[in-house]
Chain A
Amino acid sequence: MSIVLAAASGALFGVGLLISGMTQPAKVIGFLDVTGAWDPSLALVIGGAVAVYAVLLRLTKRRSDPWFDVKFHLPTRNDVDFPLIAGAALFGIGWGLGGLCPGPGLVAAASGSLPALAFVASMIVGMLVQHRAGRLR
């Protein structure tokens, strides 16, 4: 049941991404490119997501634990450091360049889009490189 519900969460997430328009690079870039014909509609994706998530998160946190684990795993860090900013900056450049971020990239790749497959492959490489680079310190 635990695995089924995790899969269901992923599936629902994927459906949300497809419906939202995030899996359409042209739409994403139309949102991020503020010159020319600006399409602000994707702002409602984060708006709708946060509206739902913020409410359900608060309700869920009243519980002592989740269904299938002994505790909730929330991030504990509050500090802002260089990797956070630099990493976010690089991610933003990649997102603005390709019009895909991780989730939509995976959905699009699974749907058979060859550019998205290339995106996911290079995304994985980028992740592996970052991990190795981090270990060089």
Chain B
Amino acid sequence: MSFISYLINGLGLGSVYAIIALGYTMVYGIAKMLNFAHGDVIMIGAYVALLSMTHAGMPVLPAVLISVVACTVLGLLIERVAYKPLRNASSSLAVLITAIGVSYLLQNIALLMFGANAQTFPSVVKWKGLSLAGGKLTISGETLVTIIVCIIIMIALILFVQKTKPGQAMRAVSEDRGAALLMGINVNGTIALTFAIGSGLAAIAGVLLCSAYPSLTPYTGAMPGIKAFVAAVFGGIGSIPGAFIGGILLGIIEIFGKAYISSQMADAIVFAVLIVVLLVKPTGLLGKKIQEKV
């Protein structure tokens, strides 16, 4: 029984990673940049939802909605002010370092506004969850909701990218930005849209993460951000199903590692698995192999 419960917890944690990783992977696929500040957008999203619920006394759904809107705007703002001017910089490291600067900035803004102390995040899920096998196996409402939300988001994103015009534009830009521009696709708009979607997802991830692990500090987003980045690379960065699979696997490995090997070594295990996967498949599980033409 404990095996199944670990597995389900792993799925829950993995679903959060997957939602964050989707944001990472879409931004990477289209803007070819590692958005190191993505994890901190999660944290901002969680604070906005928290304030809406506790200070403004809003019900859950409007609070989450406000958080999504706030993060979307934040994502667009970051992209416009900090990343877009560096899009054609001579080194791709420039925008990476700027993203790190944005990450510090968001953390310190949160630190000034909300303080360093951990705040308790009230769960947005009121459902008690399921109790199966005569009470031997309980699944929390948070876990179930997280898994369901993650699946819905993934399917919606795949449909969006495959079926809609803006989605096709995204694919075109990620395939070949120059060619997309020549075909009359609004490249800047498409990149901004990608940031908007990724950041909106980050808000949802933040709310779900803090519902499951209810302690919120200005640094809450950093480690899940890194882990989700690992998940995105793990699944093959740039691939939406890859991010989903990578996130889920990472969550399961982390929970199993904690349960069966060592709780202190869980992170090391996660990173070790990543290394092994990349050494065997250098572009991740679902990544495309690219070879330079001579």
Mutual binders A and B: no
Q: Give chain B's interface residues, CB within 8 Å of chain A.
A: none
Residues of A within 8 A of B (CB): none
